Amino acid sequence: MKKQIPLNPAEITELQKQFFHSLKLGTGRAMLLMKAHPQIDFSAQILAATVNNLAYDRQCEGSRAVYLYSLVMRSRQKDELIRTIIKKFSAKKRNDYGMDQLSDLVLYFHQAGIAGAKEALLSRFEKTFSNGYELFARGVLLEIEGMAGLIMAAEKVGQLPEQERADYEDRWRVDDFQEMNKSVDVYAELAKAAETNPAIKNYLDLILSAEPREKYRRSKTIPYAVTEIEELIDEAGRFPRFWASRISGMTQADIEQVARNFLAEKDGNRKYKYLPFFYQTKFPFDYGFLLKLASGRNVKKNRRIMHAVNALSHFKGDDIRALAFKKFASEKTPWDYSKLLVNNYKTGDAAILLEIIQRSKNFHHIHDLVAGIIDIFEANPTVECKASLEALYYGMNCAMHRWSVIDLLNKNGVLSEEIVDELAYDTDEDLRKLSRSIKRARSKMKS
């Protein structure tokens, strides 16, 4: 066993800061730090990350419980962490993304055979709707109690006043549970329980009042007609939303007619409503008017300018490139203008992109930039992407965009071994799988 070199308090504090930064991002560096420094107590940082979901888009990314569970179980302070997490879960009143994450963690503790975890889940459920406690994730109850758990949840919802009950309509949850438990007639069981329990009848009436969720099915996409575009512009309060899939089926003649209508329009407010259309498809004529409009000031306060920039991003031109660099110099986070480089990137531009990323001081600024920079390097493959994409990797807490960043680094042959090692413990399951795939491929190349 490798002998541990004693660390002074300042070094320990610095490593704890690095560990928590990794937790915020959701990267695997936290696990690697824990393995490299088993003598350091990281429990305070782990606890802070469990109580509140630190993901950028918590709704899309979901719970980070799997990621955190592995850290809890690795910790030398495991037993104390488990006790504290169960206590925090039991006391948490608000049903939010942090609550979902805590309940998932306690469920994993239960599945691992940890005493008291199941009791904590059931006890917290019993507090639902009393003393200010909100209903916690019913999915966890179904996981541990099955049909009996659904009956318990139905009774709690059915006891609510009618005006509040509608907020808890979850037919989709019942249908999913039925799909996973084909041996049980879920609705028949609910109906049977409803015969003697008015609260469960209230719940059953509630979910039956909702239409069943239809299975996803691909329908034929119908291209827009020019008259339909005009109607959408007339009806829209500000800027209409145009679907790229429907525009892609339009003939070039129809797209040109929309463009002529746009140029001929005299009403200023109506005229600018055409702009989002020309982000989804290239404006078929000279871009001079778009450039003039995109050169205006205060893009963040003027959506006309933003939509003009989007429309202009399809074109290549020295004047467009000049506009991009002018805005890069004057805007702190010029994310609206970064897309102008998608078709106007030149060797060496990665340096200014890196500098723009380094100006960003928080996750929101980084997240504003990431999509545009990904688009640039997807359209312009280059090893120059390395520094910029690594700066995004180490600076953003969005696992969904992190996948695109890693994919680009890998495709351009500049994905470091350090990051590959971290991916094995990333919060994102697909990145963990990608890490294994990359390691196998690199191992074959060496042999």
What pLDDT was estimated at residue 411?
Answer: 95
- pLDDT digits 0-9 by tens, 228-261: 999 999 988 889 999 999 999 999 999 999 999 9
Distance, in Å, from the CA atom of 359 to the CA atom of 391, rounded to the nearest integer, reads 11
Find the mean pLDDT for residues 160-180. 90
Q: What percentage of the chain carries pLDDT values higher than 70? A: 97
Contact partners, residue 341, CB within 8 Å, separation at least 6:
321, 324, 349, 353, 376
Worst-scoring range by mean pLDDT, 73-87, 100-114, 115-129?
115-129
Find the mean pLDDT for residues 428-446. 90
Tell me the pLDDT band of 214, cut-offs 50, 70 and 90: low
Find the mean pLDDT for residues 142-146. 90
What pLDDT was estimated at residue 216?
Answer: 47
> Is residue 1 over pLDDT 50?
no
Count of helices and strands (H, E) across the chain: 29, 0
- pLDDT digits 0-9 by tens, 402-414: 999 999 999 999 9
Distance, in Å, from the CA atom of 97 to the CA atom of 397, rounded to the nearest integer, reads 15
What pLDDT was estimated at residue 136?
Answer: 73
What pLDDT was estimated at residue 96?
Answer: 81
What pLDDT was estimated at residue 58?
Answer: 86
What pLDDT was estimated at residue 97?
Answer: 83
- pLDDT digits 0-9 by tens, 287-330: 999 999 999 876 566 788 999 999 999 999 999 999 999 999 98
Residue from 364, 446, 435 nearest 401 by CA: 364
What pLDDT was estimated at residue 220?
Answer: 82
Place of tokens 């994919």: 407
Place of tokens 């351009």: 412
Q: How many Å separate Cα 106 from the centre of its chain?
A: 23
Place of tokens 């005299």: 266
Mean pLDDT of all residues in the chain? 91
> Is residue 275 over pLDDT 70?
yes
What pLDDT was estimated at residue 302?
Answer: 79
Distance, in Å, from the CA atom of 390 to the CA atom of 400, rounded to the nearest integer, reads 15
> Is residue 167 over pLDDT 50?
yes
- pLDDT digits 0-9 by tens, 333-360: 788 899 999 999 999 999 999 999 999 8
Place of tokens 């802070």: 48
Amino acid identity of residue 254, one-letter, is D
Indicate if the alpha-carbon torsion angle 226, 227, 228, 234 is positive or negative: positive
> Is residue 5 over pLDDT 60?
yes
Highest-confidence range of 130-134, 288-292, 300-304, 361-365, by mean pLDDT?
Answer: 288-292
The full DSSP string for 77-118 is THHHHHHHHHHHHHH--S-SHHHHHHHHHHHHHHHTT-TTHH
C-alpha R_g of the chain: 27
Give the other-Cβ count within 10 Å of 388's Cβ. Answer: 26
Contact partners, residue 407, CB within 8 Å, separation at least 6:
434
pTM: 0.87
